[in-house]
Structure 1
Amino acid sequence: MASIEKVPMLAEGYEQLTANLKVLREERPRVVDAIEEARAHGDLSENAEYHAAKERQGQIEASIADLEDKISRAQIIDPTTLSGDRIVFGATITMLDDDDKPVTYQIVGQTEADAKKGRISYSSPLARALIGKRVGDDIEVTVPSGDRFYHVKKIEFI
């Protein structure tokens, strides 16, 4: 039997997924009503409201299925319970970049990633290069803009 791949995420990412699922489940009956109302207008072949509502229904159902799948496979990780001297999921890492400027990133789940907020997905090239490294290690990572070099200064679990 194949094992089900877990989806690591922080508690806030899990809460966001469940909130999104709730909103979609609340929207579902409204779309069904819109389809029924549009169907009542007659000829469906030229009924834009009907086709738009059916398309939205398909989007909602696909999104609900995706969210339910991620929630069912969620592995919630609390960084404050972690420790050690190696970079792992949930760690917050402060590094010096090519120009000796400090940059800080937290390694998070794919649904929580937001580079502008310093949160990078564990599957990103930078996070994959960082995982397993220690303070003092140098990292080289190839990104779309070219090769980048970092020096790990601090690892925190906050």
Structure 2
Amino acid sequence: MTREGYDALREEETALWKKRRRVVKILAAAAAEGDRSENAEYIYRKKQLREMDRRIRYLQKRIPELKRIEGPPHNTEQVFFGAWVTLEDEKGEEVTYRIVGADEF
């Protein structure tokens, strides 16, 4: 994984925890209003909290398993994660891609 991708996942996890605290406060206020079965705010915030918790759990399991690429590869004849690859078609037009893992695309 590229350093940028790794840092983006760490930032996402931090932002989710901050947002989660706000959602929990709103959820508590909605729950205090009474009948939860007809309380749209309560139902929506519970769903939002479930989705956030699912993503946080995924990131907590995934981030420690990731291997960051810290520099260019030693062998420039092969393509590795984090590499920029430029392709040229028959017309001479070039297209540049960056090879990244599933967590970055």
Q: TM-score, with normalisation over the residues of structure 1?
A: 0.61
Structure 2 residues not aligned, in runs of 5+: none
Matched, 1:69 2:61: yes
Deviation at residue 103 of structure 1 after TM alignment: 1.3
- Aligned-residue Cα RMSD (Å) equals 1.4
Query: Which residue matches 1:83?
Result: 74
**What are the within-5 Å matches in structure 2 for residues 15-94 of structure 1?**
15-80=7-72, 82-84=73-75, 85-94=77-86
CA-to-aligned-CA distance 1:31-90 (integer Å, 9 cap, x gap): 11112111111111100010011011101101101111221111101242x121122222
More strand by percentage: 1
Aligned length, in residue pairs: 104
The match for 1:110 among 99, 102, 105 is 102
Could you tell me how far apart the structure 2 residues matched to 1:92 and 1:11 are? 14
Higher relative contact order (CA 8 A, sep 6+): 2
More helix by percentage: 2
Structure 1 residues not aligned, in runs of 5+: 1-8, 114-158
SS of the residue 2:59 aligns to: helix
C-alpha contact 1:79 1:91 (8 A) present in aligned 2: no
Could you tell me how far apart the structure 1 residues matched to 2:90 and 2:82 are? 24
Q: TM-score, with normalisation over the residues of structure 2?
A: 0.88
Deviation at residue 112 of structure 1 after TM alignment: 2.4
Percent identity over paired residues: 36
